[in-house]
Amino acid sequence: MFINPIAFQIGPISIHWYGVLYAVAAVAAAWLATREARRRGEDADQVWTGLLVAAVGGIIGARIYHVIHEWGPIYSQNPALIPQVWIGGLGIPGGVAGGMIALYLFTRYSHLKFWRWIDIAAPAMLLAQAIGRFGNFVNQELYGGPTTLPWGIPIDADHRVPPWNDLDTYPVDSTFFHPLFLYESVLNLIGVAVLLFIGRRYARRLYDGDIGMMYFIWYGSVRTVLETFRTGNWMIGGVPVAILIGVAVAVTGFVVIAVRHANGWGVPGAFLVEMEEREAAAAAAEAPAAPPDTPAPEANPG
């Protein structure tokens, strides 16, 4: 059941499944973001430029997070591995932070509405994460403890972490593990459906940015729960860093929504109001001009 991480070779160049899946994830995200941009009356052509900028920022942030996490056991001894992103090793929390910073800079430079564009990006980001997580399956990463559930996955000896690297207690042929990557992927797909539904059903009530903050709530909650299944986590004060980040992200999303609505820092259904105003202006411009008033005939004195 183990998969060769190399998808195919082009001469001396090895193309890894990890990279292939991230490319598929990027295309799927761009497709969904394009549809959302059009629905919100924004320039869909900006999606591809924004995607490129956010992807670069996301990859840099994700790699930084992963390198810090694995600095002691891996990268302090092999610093040449740090730029080799194509072999795997991206931390999604860092990717989210890097992508958001890059998106903010892009919208500022392009004179776009940042809050509206994070609404456009939010469902697409969850879709990309759902697809990209299968790269962890190929690389035998992001798994939990042993399980007897029918969807448990095998992990070979080289990819085991303590205490599951004790092959006498946990034989490779008969020990299966929770596929946390699959749990996160499924939950992210559900999140895509939830955000798209809320964005349509309650469009008249939402402020620009609400869907983006709901992404934070969803993603932070999912990561917080799934991190409780993992071992060998990066810890601060005995608490996994990913849990601290997950809780902080979810709480931030909730607080931002609550504070903005309590203070009226936004316009309900802003993109719908703007689209309706543009349609009304266009209709008025196309309407035929009214004929000039015809003067009344003079009275006959006769």
How does pLDDT run across 82-117, given as a tens digit for each residue?
887 766 677 777 888 898 999 999 999 999 999 999
Name the helix (H) or strand (E) containing 3: none
Q: What is the pLDDT of residue 3?
A: 87
| Per-residue pLDDT band at 70 (split at 50, 70, 90) | confident
Phi, psi of 5 (to 5 degrees): -65, -20
Which residues, in sequence order, are bridge partners of residue 7?
Answer: none
Question: Per-residue pLDDT for 229 more than 70?
Answer: yes
Question: Per-residue pLDDT for 53 more than 70?
Answer: yes
Phi, psi of 21 (to 5 degrees): -65, -35
Provide DSSP, 237-301: TTEEHHHHHHHHHHHHHHHHHHHHHHHT-S-TTHHHHHHHHHHHHHHHHHSPPPPPPPPPPPPP-
**pLDDT greater at residue 162 or residue 208:** 208
Where in the chain are the domains?
6-144+179-275
pLDDT in tens, 245-293: 899 999 999 999 999 999 999 999 999 999 999 999 988 888 876 666 6
Phi, psi of 44 (to 5 degrees): -65, -25
Prediction pTM value? 0.87
296 to each of 293, 299, 301, how far by Cα in Å?
9, 9, 15
**pLDDT greater at residue 233 or residue 46:** 46
Report, as an integer, the average pLDDT of 14-26: 88
SS3 content of the chain, % helix, strand, coil (to 5): 60, 5, 35
Question: What six digits make up the tokens of 166?
Answer: 């004790």
Least confident of 5-9, 56-60, 101-105, 291-295: 291-295
Which SS3 state, helix, strand or coil, does residue 236 take?
Answer: strand
DSSP 235: E
